[in-house]
Structure 1
Amino acid sequence: MDVQLPLISKAWQHVKALIGIDTHALVNEDDIEGKLSLKAIAQCYPSHSAQSEIDKKLLYTPLIPGIDNFIGRDSQQQQLTDAIERWQNNKGELTAVIGPFGCGVSSFLNQFHQQYAQEHTVTYLSFYHGVLTTKEAIANLCYCFNITEAPTSITAAIALINQLPRHIIIIDDLHKLMLRMMGNYQALVTFATMLMETRQHHCWILGCETFVWHRLSSQYSITNFVKSIITLDYFSQQDLADLLKQKTSQISLQLTDTNDEETNNSLFDNMAKQLHQASDGHPKLACVLLLQALVNDGNSPITLNPISQPDLSSLKQCIDEDLFSLAELYVHGGLRVFQHAEIFATSIEHSSLKLEYLARQGLVKAHYSKQDFAQHYYLITPTLTRIIAMHLLNHNKLYL
């Protein structure tokens, strides 16, 4: 048998580079003093279940409903209330709530869902996947009204929806509509047309990621149709301190041996400042960094080690091909292997190896399909969205 060893060797080097076996792509980042690797951060959250009661309280327990879910969101809360009041006065227009991944757009919309559910019929919809046909777009919007047999035409669907009792419909994860695959444009047009033609009768509130919103604006002029745009961002230092105060009130954290309130407050403010600098106001990342700094030996109270900074070594080693993949994963909110292959016009096998390499580095989180590897789903690790987005922006892979 004629075995071409040079070709095999070259192919093996390419496979190793893709899945992260190459020695130059592996750095023992956890040994860097004062730094916490992105992989270590990614392994902290989310997991299938909280590892301890402290994990549960810091990372998984929601804030007190109705009071503190709106930390730092007073003006945005009023803007959304005003938009709903205009609709109640028969002056309804489309409203969008935009913000970067991890800043709390979904939590913000969920809180309004709970707040208005007692007064109005409120439906909350989060897209499971992007729509690619007119039929899928009609079916998704009809689903908001529990219409099981959707009309086949846009005109009939609009007429039917406008005959139904008035609803508030909150549609989150609008980025799922940005799937750059064949048929996507017509699905977007159908979706937008139905919203525009029913906006007077029903109140439509849309949640969307900031960079995706800019892409929708530049490619489809979506801002021409949305009247109210409410912008969220990551937390300011004071807002993050307020959130951390609530989180740490649920655990026995002690920053000093004294009972002096002024000293305790000063130490807490210093801790919050360090966490804000390390996380750029990303609440989940700040909580993970806090969790990693806690000294919990089973005794009470819990004390604190120095706050670690995220180590960006693995991200800095990414080549352009990796960064382009991360950018598409970011704006789509996640991709399946076959979707990545279609977007980059490459093979399923190449896409599978590329995405698995990023997962091995801790940059993306994988959800594996037992039936078909082409259906494996990858998304940016939730705690790293801010870090990765800024890196992509600085390397001209995301655009404002």
Structure 2
Amino acid sequence: MDIKLPILSTAWQKIKTLLGLEHHALLDEDNIEGKLSLKALANHYPNSSPASEAEQILLYSPLIAGVDTIIGRDTQRQKVTDAIERWQQQKGELTAVIGPFGAGISTLLNQFHQQYTHSYNVTYLSFYHGVLSTKEAIANLCYCFNITDEPNSITAAIAVINQQPQQIIIIDDLHKLMLRMMGNYQALVTFATILMETRQHHCWILGCETFVWHRLSSQYSITNFVKSIIKMDYFTQQELSEILKQKTDKIPLKINNLSPEEASNGAFDSLCKQLHQASDGHPKLASVLLHAAMVDDGNSPINLSPISSPDLSSLKQCIDEDLFSLAELYVHGGLRVFQHADIFATSIEHSSLKLEYLARQGLVKAHYSKQDFAQHYYFITPTLTRIIAMHLLNHNKLYL
């Protein structure tokens, strides 16, 4: 075969430029002592099948069992309850619960789904993909009421929805409305208009990530329409300790060379302090760091090695182009290759290589399409949301 080396060399240089390899030193995949690489943290969770009972309990078991067992969210629960009561008194307004990814917004909203379902029709909606047109906005909202014959206009949609029996509608993952593609602005306007014109008859509760909310506020003045804004954040050290206590009580864990029976509160408190410092109160990250420290050799109790902290080397080596891509992935909750290309006004090929580079560095994860590489879907794994958001904030790629 006649191989033309200069042509191959030129092609490789172009690929390296697209991937950012000209600006990055390739990272050693081995973890630095006392630290876990972001790739290792991303690979820890989620997994298709937990390898042990301890992993199942720590990373996959639900945190709460009933409506009265949410840790550290009493204030937020009461504010949502107050908003529903005002609606019951014919003083309905739009309510939003905002907080960072991983702070438990979906968990909180699901509790109200359970709590009120015996007395009202309660619908919980989480968008599968972004709404890109007026027709899609109307269709999504009509879906909440099982309306199959979709109205042809916003006015008709408002009239039909107001004729339905009263409902509480919880719309989670509002970041899916942020997609900056052709026609999406009108979809947002349609969505907001229908909610505003039906808020007296139906109770609308929205769940939204903090930085997405700030972008919606700055670009679309959403705060002019939402009466109640209920804020959440990650957990305090005491709250995180309670969360981890619920989980570790079900695991035969050996702390500081003591048996589970002998382990003092001081040893457990010290462990939780380390985990809080390393995770900033992000419960999933804290759980992953704890699980990574477990030395499970099949014996009981399970030994615990020193807690590692996240190694940010891969993030620190990102150039601005990488960080802008991560910021868009964050606020959208994930992007397909063609969506990334549309946002950055670049080619599908360039976007594909850029997103795959970020995946190779362990900063994002990918769901690959077998039919079309433009449909590959990239997202920031739940374990890394806090770490990446803070890095982006510190580099002026996300705004408070």
TM-score, structure 2 normalization: 0.95
Say whether 1:291 aligns with 2:291. yes
Amino acid at match of 1:100: P
Aligned length: 400
Is the 2:24–2:318 contact (alpha carbons within 8 Å) kept by the matching residues of 1?
Answer: no
Aligned residue runs from structure 1 range 266-305, under 5 A? 266-305=266-305
- The one-character-per-residue Cα deviations of 1:46-104 (angstroms, maximum 9, x if unpaired) are 11121211111001000232256521101000000000010111110000000011111
Q: Alpha-carbon deviation of 1:30?
A: 2.8
Residue of structure 1 equivalent to 2:337: 337
Distance 2:36 2:29 in 1: 7
Alignment CA distance shift 1:148-1:8 (3 Å): same
Alignment CA distance shift 1:68-1:4 (3 Å): farther
Q: Alpha-carbon deviation of 1:17?
A: 5.2
Say whether 1:349 aligns with 2:363. no
The Cα RMSD (Å) is 2.1
Residue of structure 2 equivalent to 1:203: 203
Alignment CA distance shift 1:271-1:67 (3 Å): farther
Name whichever of 67-76 and 168-177 sits farther off. 67-76
Q: Alpha-carbon deviation of 1:237?
A: 0.5
Query: What SS does structure 2 have at the residue aligned with 1:182?
Result: coil
Alignment CA distance shift 1:21-1:222 (3 Å): closer
Residue of structure 1 equivalent to 2:95: 95
Amino acid at match of 1:165: P
Amino acid at match of 1:125: L
Aligned residue runs from structure 1 range 163-182, under 5 A? 163-182=163-182
Distance 2:348 2:257 in 1: 58
Alignment CA distance shift 1:19-1:210 (3 Å): same
Q: Alpha-carbon deviation of 1:9?
A: 2.4
Runs of 4 or more, structure 1, over 3 Å off, are 2-8, 16-25, 256-263
Residue of structure 2 equivalent to 1:321: 321
Is the 1:125–1:172 contact (alpha carbons within 8 Å) kept by the matching residues of 2?
Answer: yes
Aligned residue runs from structure 1 range 85-124, under 5 A? 85-124=85-124
- The one-character-per-residue Cα deviations of 1:291-347 (angstroms, maximum 9, x if unpaired) are 001121111111211100000111111111111100000011110000000111111
Residue of structure 2 equivalent to 1:51: 51
Distance 2:7 2:313 in 1: 31
Residue of structure 1 equivalent to 2:83: 83
Distance 2:65 2:318 in 1: 41
Is the 2:294–2:305 contact (alpha carbons within 8 Å) kept by the matching residues of 1?
Answer: yes
Query: What SS does structure 1 have at the residue aligned with 2:136?
Result: helix
Distance 2:344 2:3 in 1: 31
Alignment CA distance shift 1:323-1:68 (3 Å): farther
Aligned residue runs from structure 1 range 25-64, under 5 A? 25-64=25-64
Residue of structure 1 equivalent to 2:153: 153
Is the 1:99–1:232 contact (alpha carbons within 8 Å) kept by the matching residues of 2?
Answer: yes
Alignment CA distance shift 1:116-1:296 (3 Å): same
- 5+ residue gaps, structure 2, are none
Q: Alpha-carbon deviation of 1:24?
A: 5.2
Is the 1:69–1:111 contact (alpha carbons within 8 Å) kept by the matching residues of 2?
Answer: no
Distance 2:85 2:312 in 1: 46
Residue of structure 1 equivalent to 2:236: 236
Amino acid at match of 1:159: A
Query: What SS does structure 2 have at the residue aligned with 1:30?
Result: coil
Distance 1:115 1:35 in 2: 42
Is the 2:259–2:301 contact (alpha carbons within 8 Å) kept by the matching residues of 1?
Answer: no
Q: Alpha-carbon deviation of 1:22?
A: 7.2
TM-score, structure 1 normalization: 0.95
Q: Alpha-carbon deviation of 1:132?
A: 1.1
Q: Percent of aligned positions with the same letter in both sequences?
A: 78
Is the 1:29–1:313 contact (alpha carbons within 8 Å) kept by the matching residues of 2?
Answer: no
Q: Alpha-carbon deviation of 1:26?
A: 2.4
Is the 2:95–2:229 contact (alpha carbons within 8 Å) kept by the matching residues of 1?
Answer: yes
Residue of structure 2 equivalent to 1:162: 162
Is the 2:20–2:354 contact (alpha carbons within 8 Å) kept by the matching residues of 1?
Answer: no
Is the 1:20–1:361 contact (alpha carbons within 8 Å) kept by the matching residues of 2?
Answer: no
Distance 2:26 2:211 in 1: 30
Query: What SS does structure 2 have at the residue aligned with 1:267?
Result: helix
Residue of structure 2 equivalent to 1:15: 15
Q: Alpha-carbon deviation of 1:264?
A: 1.3
Say whether 1:191 aligns with 2:187. no
Q: Alpha-carbon deviation of 1:256?
A: 4.6
- The one-character-per-residue Cα deviations of 1:150-204 (angstroms, maximum 9, x if unpaired) are 1011111100110110000000010111100110110000000000000000000
Is the 1:366–1:377 contact (alpha carbons within 8 Å) kept by the matching residues of 2?
Answer: yes
Is the 2:67–2:114 contact (alpha carbons within 8 Å) kept by the matching residues of 1?
Answer: no
Distance 1:253 1:127 in 2: 39
Is the 1:132–1:184 contact (alpha carbons within 8 Å) kept by the matching residues of 2?
Answer: yes
Distance 1:259 1:330 in 2: 42
Residue of structure 2 equivalent to 1:214: 214
Distance 1:189 1:87 in 2: 23
Alignment CA distance shift 1:250-1:12 (3 Å): same
Q: Alpha-carbon deviation of 1:8?
A: 4.4
